[in-house]
Amino acid sequence: MGTSPINPANIDPIDLMVEVIEEHSPESIWRGSRLEGYRQLGNTNRGQIGESFIQRYLSSANISVSNGSRTSPTDLVIAGQPFEVKTASLGANGTFQFNHVRLDRTYNYLLCLGICPDKIVFNAWRKGVLSEGGAGSLVRMAEGQSTTHKLTKRLAEMKPIEELVDWIIEEAQEP
């Protein structure tokens, strides 16, 4: 006689599904991280969190920061300069993908904030440098459109967040 079929009455379907998901899931670099909750948020919330973090972080260093409204073409005004802020988390492949970078918006700098399991990093570029490819390749988000791009950066191309205040003072202060 063959083995008897599994009796579904003896199996918790949720436990079974969790087991199957774990077998098919790569090991998460985020497991146990204090910042793991960031990965569970929707994209809009992630962007708002990044902007709020930058605003509070720079304000604590006595750098003037104000935010645009939800419909404003500028995310933040930092030291008198309009900034577009993009926030992304580190992927398993060691890169950040900053989405919806638009060159048709009114800003002088793009600030990319990267959230890692154990640290926070950034990089920033003048809009002219960005549009000329100086930050890397801008890839269209969707076929057939030309205004919304993504910018992929390796962790090695980012700077520790602790250097942001000096970067602002050196690079972005209003004359």
Q: What does the domain layout of the chain look like in residue ranges?
A: 26-172
The one-letter amino acid at 131: S
**Joined tokens for residue 37:** 């909750």
List the one residue out of 112, 114, 122, 113 whose CA is nearest residue 94: 114
List the one residue out of 99, 85, 89 whose CA is nearest residue 55: 85
List the one residue out of 90, 87, 89, 113 whose CA is nearest residue 100: 87
List the one residue out of 108, 116, 96 whose CA is nearest residue 161: 116
Average pLDDT on 101-130 reads 95
Look-up: residue for tokens 């154990």? 118
* C-alpha 8 chain-centroid distance: 43
pLDDT at 143 (0 to 100): 74
pTM: 0.82
Is the pLDDT assigned to residue 131 strictly greater than 70?
Answer: yes
pLDDT digits (tens, 9 = 90+) for 53-106: 999 999 999 999 997 656 677 899 999 999 999 999 999 889 999 999 998 889
- As a whole number of angstroms, the distance between CA 134 and CA 131 comes to 7
List the one residue out of 84, 86, 85, 90 whose CA is nearest residue 154: 90
Is the pLDDT assigned to residue 123 strictly greater than 80?
Answer: yes
Mean pLDDT of the chain: 88
* Main-chain dihedrals φ then ψ at residue 104, nearest 5 degrees: -90, 0
pLDDT at 124 (0 to 100): 97
Which helix (H) or strand (E) segment is 171 a member of? none
CATH architecture of 26-172: 3-Layer(aba) Sandwich (3.40)
